[in-house]
């Protein structure tokens, strides 16, 4: 076996099942490299994809008897709200043009077309398909970061994160997570990846500033700090410059610049309206700031950008005729920007989206003049960028059999960028893809979600987004083909480990005369407000496993492209794939933390929880009885 050429071994591996291929990797370094061959795992990913299932379905439809096909067409002609145009065309089984009279050759040609149509990678992109297979099929695990406890409280309460941003390393991967807390402090966790020579960060809390740093209040006045930190409710309120290691934190109308190395306040800039969105921070690019009614460019290198506090009682729009160039701004016709995206293609562009129904496009060279708009019709909550062109729906080789493979290849190698948008349209979720330069946008408003979308990000060869029901959904890069779904409420911490009750703990007990449970009540679950990949997709993306080179001294472990999550309840977590903890924590650490808590503290916490649940059940039972008695006299 060891004397066989690699091509022969790879051909043999193609007949093995996935568990056998994984076990073979432990034999030797040679079989480790062969067992993670990119072409092998690309085929495995394709075999379980929706594109391959559609191809097999079309092949079976073509082999059916003519009488069954006639009956199928009759059923397809019946009216039904659940059938889309694509479903009707598939049920009718319209004849497909044949490339060969040989059935075996025809099957090979159609399979090659389906593979080319499904392939998520672009010609200049290196995707690790072993990681792709793990992310598509392995169990999802979430590890929650340990937040500091409330200092001025005798209860087991924990602070809440009011935002988050990442501090990246030289290789572009995320090393630290930086987040402001509701007491006005700043914390930093080490979330770096594991490698062959390093154990990784494991989510350790590495630094914490004093409370009140961002609010200017005394450290013991945490109640006032909590009100100030949570009043605006902005999601994109933190931005980190990885070169200068400066952080920018938006609190109400103030923008605070903080030195990440020392966690000390450097400067503060005030704006006439509450800040609702910040762009990414780069050393060579001014920071774009969105307020309720204006858009500003903030250059940290310009000392004139600092301004005195505005009049908080009578806020007025700045007068452009009396405003200097350093503080030039654009006035919005409608309030509510929620997300700002910097796109270098084809020029230094600024894309702004929010509660209005269009994407606003500014050119930094001609700011504050509005360049153009992209009408969406939906209210967009989050923007993200994929540094590859959007493939039009007209080039879909499965839906359009007359389309040639050469046209698809030409579209893939063309320069371009795709803007991803998570939005809400008429109460339902809308996943929208906009191609630059301009191509026909794609808006998935049918199968994205029954509730509004909150966040979106590219994740490997897929797109991940969150909705208002607590779901995380992965789809292919076409924005439609479903990959998998995970609900964040299935991974909430149980008991009082994080100072909150689990969605599957004691709160599930029945109460009231109707015997309902808390899990059936609306608004009982958590949601994901922001998604940040630890291995961002860039134009020079490479895999983290064997595709990165087995000969490197510090090769990263596979399956390290995790997701950093910030939830609506102020939790921070790391979502990974596989049976182990995404942070790599040992089981003994959790046992030591539990044993360190004294018996008196546990007894006190249990008594408080039982008393709270008893009072809640009593009040809810009383409310049920009042509603029941209220309707007894209606029939008299």
Task: Check pLDDT > 80 for residue 498.
Answer: no
Task: Check pLDDT > 70 for residue 513.
Answer: no
Query: Mean pLDDT of all residues in the chain?
Result: 80
User: For the ranges 271-275, 491-495, 551-555, 559-563, which has the lowest average pLDDT?
Assistant: 551-555
More confident call, 598 vs 106? 106
Task: Check pLDDT > 80 for residue 585.
Answer: no
What is the SS3 assignment for 143?
Answer: strand
Task: Check pLDDT > 90 for residue 339.
Answer: yes
Nearest Cα residue to 278 out of 348, 362, 225, 342: 342
Q: What average pLDDT does this structure show over 216-243?
A: 90
Task: Check pLDDT > 80 for residue 22.
Answer: yes
Q: What average pLDDT does this structure show over 433-445?
A: 88
CA distance 361 to 288: 13
% of the chain exceeding 70 in pLDDT: 76
Cis peptide before 75 (omega within 30 of 0): no
Task: Check pLDDT > 90 for residue 456.
Answer: yes
The pair of structure tokens assigned to 494 is 């149980």
pLDDT of residue 81: 47
* Residue 125 backbone zone (phi > 0: left; psi -120 to 50: alpha; other: beta): beta
More confident call, 543 vs 148? 148
Task: Check pLDDT > 80 for residue 466.
Answer: yes
Q: Which residues of 368-403 are buried (b: 16+ CB within 10 A; e: fewer)?
A: eebeeebebebbbbbbbbbbbbbbeeebbbbeebeb
pLDDT of residue 596: 55
CA distance 614 to 603: 16
Task: Check pLDDT > 60 for residue 402.
Answer: yes
The pLDDT tens digits for 293-306 are: 999 999 887 765 55
Task: Check pLDDT > 80 for residue 386.
Answer: yes
Task: Check pLDDT > 50 for residue 17.
Answer: yes
The pLDDT tens digits for 50-84 are: 888 888 887 777 676 667 766 766 766 665 544 44
Query: Cβ(388)–Cβ(458) under 8 Å?
Result: no
Q: Which residues of 179-189 are buried (b: 16+ CB within 10 A; e: fewer)?
A: bbbbbbbbbbb
What is the rounded radius of gyration, in angstroms, for the C-alpha atoms of the chain?
A: 27
CA distance 418 to 174: 22
The sheet carrying 428-436 orders its strands as 379-386, 417-425, 428-436, 442-449
Q: What average pLDDT does this structure show over 630-636?
A: 61
CA distance 313 to 539: 47
pLDDT of residue 517: 44
User: For the ranges 72-86, 94-108, 226-240, 370-384, which has the lowest average pLDDT?
Assistant: 72-86
pLDDT of residue 462: 95
pLDDT of residue 93: 47
Task: Check pLDDT > 50 for residue 44.
Answer: yes
User: For the ranges 10-19, 345-354, 455-464, 578-587, which has the lowest average pLDDT?
Assistant: 578-587
Q: Which residue has the tokens 């879909």?
A: 396
User: For the ranges 16-25, 241-250, 289-298, 433-442, which has the lowest average pLDDT?
Assistant: 433-442
The pair of structure tokens assigned to 217 is 């209040």
Burial tier of 109 (Cβ tally within 10 Å: 0-12, 13-18, 19+): middle
Cα distances from 541 to residues 192, 386, 388, 440, 461, in angstroms, run: 18, 11, 11, 26, 11
The pLDDT-based confidence of 436 (bands split at 50, 70, 90) is confident
What is the SS3 assignment for 254?
Answer: strand
The pair of structure tokens assigned to 43 is 């085929």
The pLDDT-based confidence of 334 (bands split at 50, 70, 90) is confident
CA distance 610 to 604: 10
pLDDT of residue 520: 43
The sheet carrying 238-241 orders its strands as 238-241, 246-251, 254-259, 264-270
The pLDDT-based confidence of 612 (bands split at 50, 70, 90) is confident
Cis peptide before 346 (omega within 30 of 0): yes
User: For the ranges 98-102, 372-376, 477-481, which has the lowest average pLDDT?
Assistant: 98-102
For 437-558, where are the E strands, in sequence order? 442-449, 453-459, 462-467, 471-476, 482-487, 528-533
Nearest Cα residue to 528 out of 586, 485, 489, 581: 489
Q: Which residues of 268-298 are buried (b: 16+ CB within 10 A; e: fewer)?
A: bbebbbbbbbbbbbeeebbbbbbbbbbbbbb
Cα distances from 536 to residues 169, 385, 419, 508, in angstroms, run: 12, 10, 15, 38
Q: What average pLDDT does this structure show over 179-208?
A: 83
Task: Check pLDDT > 50 for residue 410.
Answer: yes
DSSP H stretches of helix in 339-404: none
The pLDDT-based confidence of 438 (bands split at 50, 70, 90) is confident
- Break the chain down into helix, strand, coil percent, rounded to 5: 30, 30, 45
pLDDT of residue 597: 56
Let me know the angle formed at the C-alpha of 196 by 195 and 197, rounded to the nearest 5 degrees.
Answer: 90
pLDDT of residue 324: 40
Q: What length is written for the chain?
A: 636
pLDDT of residue 306: 54
CA distance 58 to 398: 10
More confident call, 461 vs 493? 461
Task: Check pLDDT > 90 for residue 23.
Answer: yes
């Amino acid at each position: 076996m060891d004397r066989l050429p690699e091509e022969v071994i790879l051909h043999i591996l193609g007949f093995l099942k996935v568990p056998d291929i994984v076990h073979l990797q432990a034999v030797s370094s040679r079989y480790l490299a062969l067992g993670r061959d990119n072409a092998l795992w690309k085929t495995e990913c394709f075999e379980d994809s929706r594109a391959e299932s559609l191809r097999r379905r079309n092949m079976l439809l073509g082999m059916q008897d003519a009488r069954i096909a006639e009956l199928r067409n009759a059923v397809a002609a019946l009216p039904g709200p659940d059938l889309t145009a694509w479903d009707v065309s598939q049920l009718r089984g319209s004849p497909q043009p044949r490339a060969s009279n040989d059935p075996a050759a025809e099957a090979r040609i159609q399979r090659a077309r389906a593979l080319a149509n499904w392939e998520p990678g672009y010609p200049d992109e290196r995707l690790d398909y072993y990681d792709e297979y793990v992310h598509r099929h392995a169990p999802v695990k979430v590890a929650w970061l340990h937040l500091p406890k409330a200092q001025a409280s005798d209860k087991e309460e924990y602070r809440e994160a009011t935002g988050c941003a990442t501090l990246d390393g030289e290789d572009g991967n995320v090393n630290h997570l930086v987040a402001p807390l509701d007491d006005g402090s700043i914390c930093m966790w080490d979330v770096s990846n594991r490698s062959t020579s390093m154990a990784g960060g494991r989510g350790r809390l590495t630094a914490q500033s004093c409370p009140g740093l961002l609010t200017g209040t005394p450290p013991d006045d945490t109640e006032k700090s909590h009100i100030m930190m949570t009043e605006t409710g902005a999601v994109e309120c933190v931005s980190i410059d990885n070169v200068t290691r400066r952080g920018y934190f938006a609190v109400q109308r103030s923008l605070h610049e903080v030195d990440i190395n020392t966690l000390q306040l450097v400067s503060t800039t005030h704006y006439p309206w509450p800040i609702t969105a910040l762009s990414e921070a780069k050393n060579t690019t001014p920071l774009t700031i969105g307020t309720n009614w204006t858009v500003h460019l903030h250059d940290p290198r310009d000392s004139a950008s600092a301004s005195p506090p505005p009049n908080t009682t009578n806020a007025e729009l700045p007068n452009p005729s009396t405003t200097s160039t350093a503080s030039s701004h654009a006035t919005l016709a409608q309030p509510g920007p929620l997300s700002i995206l910097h796109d270098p293609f084809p020029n230094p562009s600024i894309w702004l989206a929010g509660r209005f129904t269009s994407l606003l496009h500014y050119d930094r060279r001609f700011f504050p003049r509005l360049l153009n708009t992209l009408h969406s019709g939906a209210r967009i909550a989050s923007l993200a960028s994929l540094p590859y062109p959007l493939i039009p729906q007209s080039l879909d080789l499965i839906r359009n059999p007359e389309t040639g493979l050469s046209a698809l290849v030409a579209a893939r190698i063309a320069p371009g960028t795709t803007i991803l948008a998570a939005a809400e349209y008429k109460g339902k979720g809308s996943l929208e893809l906009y191609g630059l330069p301009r191509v026909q946008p794609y808006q998935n408003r049918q199968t994205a979600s029954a509730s509004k979308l909150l966040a979106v990000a590219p994740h490997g060869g897929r797109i991940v987004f969150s909705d208002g029901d607590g779901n995380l959904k992965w789809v292919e890069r076409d924005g439609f083909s479903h990959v998998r779904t995970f609900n964040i409420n299935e991974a909430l911490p149980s008991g009082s480990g994080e100072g909150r009750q689990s969605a599957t703990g004691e709160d599930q007990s029945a109460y009231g005369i109707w015997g309902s449970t808390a899990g059936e009540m609306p608004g009982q679950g958590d949601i994901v407000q922001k998604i940040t990949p630890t291995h961002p997709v860039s134009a020079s993306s490479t895999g983290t496993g064997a595709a990165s080179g087995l000969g490197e001294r510090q090769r990263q472990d596979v399956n390290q492209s995790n997701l950093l999550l910030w939830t609506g309840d102020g939790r921070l977590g790391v979502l990974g794939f596989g049976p182990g903890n995404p942070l790599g924590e040992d089981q003994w650490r959790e046992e030591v933390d539990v044993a360190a808590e004294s018996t008196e503290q546990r007894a006190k916490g249990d008594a408080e929880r039982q008393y709270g649940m008893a009072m809640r059940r009593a009040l809810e039972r009383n409310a049920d009885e009042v509603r029941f008695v209220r309707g007894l006299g209606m029939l008299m």
